[in-house]
Amino acid sequence: MKINYDGAIFSEEGRAGLGVVVHNSDGVVIASLSQQIPLPATVTQVEALAARRATEFAVELGITSAVLEGDSDIIHRELIGTEPSLALHGHIIHDVKQLASYFACIHFVHVRRQGNNVAHALARKAITSPDLNVWMKNVPPDILHVVQADLASYA
């Protein structure tokens, strides 16, 4: 499974959004989520929280083998690093690494923003709902065009 995650900042509202999408090897959506959270102190914390939520979601879904993709190079380097992160978000990185122990196989991959469009759209969607929203085998209808554009890029 490929799991993409992203965060979005809504400064004026004092909120942030997390977006996660799970694809199978053919690019078909297995599950997705959008969640609004209180605004953390830094953008990097938002990205770390998105990585943690993606990993938690995969564990909740019973996934045991995954590629976790995000567009923050900082978070990616810390996830693949062997040293503990001393950054403000270091405890969140530690959580992700702890959750990773539930997987038989997990790889952390950095992807450019263009490769993370669906997760980004889901993170942006979080501003419209204060709740956690989960879609099984789908995404919200207003994001379907982003998924279709992603699938077209696979071809």
Cβ neighbours around 8 below 10 Å, total? 23
| Model confidence pLDDT, tens digit, residues 17-41 | 999 999 998 889 999 999 999 999 9
- pLDDT higher than 90, residue 153: no
Query: Which pLDDT does position 8 carry in this prediction?
Result: 97
What's residue 27's pLDDT? 87
Contact 16, 50 (CB under 8 A): no
> Residue 155: its pLDDT value, please?
54
Q: How far is CA 18 from CA 32, 50, 60, 120, 154, in A?
A: 11, 5, 16, 8, 24
Neighbours of 90 (CB within 10 A): 13
pLDDT in tens, 47-80: 999 999 999 999 999 999 999 999 999 999 999 9
Which residues, 6+ apart, have CB-to-CB distance to 88 below 8 Å? 41, 42, 44, 45
105-133 mean pLDDT = 93
Q: Which domains does the chain have, with CATH numbers?
A: 2-147 (3.30.420.10)
